[in-house]
Structure 1
C-alpha cells in the first residue's frame, strides 16, 4: 500500500526527492510558494526553475495552496533552508497532526537559537521526526546516478519506514540512531566546503584540498563530540561522505560560493553569483557566535577563519597563512598516548 506524502519546498532537493518518491509508486504532492513553478510541474511535468531539462513523474502533483497540499498526507518531507524552517512550522502546526511523520532534509543550524532542524520540529510539537542526510546532489539524483544516504532517528521503526519509502535501484538508504551527529556533521561540513572553495578560488592545489578536508573532518569530530554525539558517525555517509562531495563538486553551492570569495568577490557578490541559499554562510556565523557567547573552549580554527573572511573582510590569503602557521602539534593529539613515542 502506497503512502500519501507531501514535500514542502520545491527547490532542487525537494523536487528530486518528490520525484524519487513518485517513481517509487508513492502518492506525492509538492508544495511551492511560486505559482509559476507549480504550473510548470502540473502542466509540463517539469520544474522550469531548477530542472527544466528533466521530465518529472506524472504522479507528482504540485500545490501553491499549503493547506490543500497538506490535506490527506501522513508523511511530510520538509525541504526548506534552515533559516526558513521556523516560519514553515508556524504555518503547518495547526494543519497537520502532531503524530504525523516529519522528514527533515535541511543541513544547518538556526542562528539565533543554535538549534538543529529536528530540535525545532520537535519543539513545534511534532513527535515523530526522521533526518535524511548524506552526500547527495539533487542533480545526480535526478539523473538516477547511484546515491547513498542516511535515515536517522532514535526510533528504529521510523528510520526503517523512511528507508523503505526512499530506497530504490539507484538510491540506497542506511539507518543511523545518532540524529545529533548526523545533523551537526551535515551542518558543519558546509562551512568546510566554503573554505575548500576559497582555496580553489586562490588557485591552491590538490594538496591543499586534501589537507583541508582531513583537518575539517577533525574539526567536525571535536564539534560533535562536544555536543554528546558520536564521532563514529563522521566516518560514514553523513560525515566524511558528505564532506568529500561538498568540498570537491561543482554541484556544491557552498564550494561555488567559496570559489567566488577566493577570487576576491564580496559576500553579497558571491551570493548573487551562486543565486541559491548557501547554508555554510549562516552556519559559520551561528557557530562563531556560539563559540564566543558561550565562551566555549573548543578548537575550531577553520570555522573561525571562514567567519573572519566572510564577515570581517579578512584577506583569504592571510586566513590560509594563519592556519598554516598555527602552533606545532601532533596530528592525533586527542587520542595518542605519549608512551608510544620512542624518546
Structure 2
C-alpha cells in the first residue's frame, strides 16, 4: 500500500501575511494528521515574499506543538546554507521535543544569487561542492561518533530520520552510496525521474538504518467536485511556476479560470511538462492518475504538493484525495 504525505511551502497569498500563512500551515498539518498521512514536510526557501518557511526548524517546532502523531520534517534543508553542526543542534532539539517524529530531508541546491549569499555570509556554490562530506559529518554528529572533535548537544544520539532529496542523478547516487531513503522532486523537475530511481535502486548499499531502497516521489495534486473547479484551483500554483521561471516570483495569486489558455506557447509547454507529475480533477480522476504514477515509479510513498489561494480548498482537496486513494497500491 502506497503511503501519503504532504509537502508545504507555507505560501503567503496576495493580501495575506506571514502570520496567516503559518496559521494555514497549522490547519493543514492537523488535517493531514487526521486523515492518516505519514509525514508533513516544510521546504526551506529564502528571500521570497510568497514563502514563509525560511526558518524551517522554527516552523517545524510550531506545527509539532499543534500535532501528536504525524512525522514532521524538512523537504528539505539546503545544507550548503548551513553548517552540519548547526543543523545537528536544531534537529536534535526537535527530536527532544517530539521524539520519534522528526525527518531531516537534505538538499544541495544553493538556489541563491549574490545578494542572498552575502546575507548568509556563505559562498553557497563552493559549499555545495562539499555537500557529500557535510552529509557524512551531519550523520556522524547525530550518531555521536567518537571520532569527532566536538559533539552536538542537543543532537548527539537524536533519533532523526535522514533523507536525501534530489531532482537529478547526483542525489540518487549519494542516497544509494550512503544507504538513505530518497525523495525525488518530480513536482517541479520531472526530467530525470525514471533514470534517478533506477540508478538509486541499482546502486543502493544497505546502511545501519536502511536495509533496502526506499523511495518517495512528489507530485502536484488538486482534487475538487468537478474538473473545472480543480483546474481553477491549480491555476494559483501554475501562476507561481510561470512567475518563478520568468524571474518575477511573488505572493500566491488568486485563481484564474481557463488560465493556461491565456499563456504563450512556451509557458503552456512548461506547465504541460510538469503535468506528468500531477493529478488535477475529480476524486476518481485523481485516484487513477496517482495510481498510474505510483505504478510507474514503484514509489513506497507519495508526497502531495499543491498550494491553493483559498486555504479551505486545499484542506478539501487533501481530504478528497486521501479518501479516493485509500486503495491505491504501488
Greater per-residue strand proportion: 2
Structure with more relative contact order (C-alpha pairs < 8 Å, separation 6 or more):
2
Larger CA Rg, structure 1 vs 2: 1
Does the alignment reach a TM-score above 0.5? no
Greater per-residue helix proportion: 1
TM-score normalised by the chain length of structure 1: 0.28
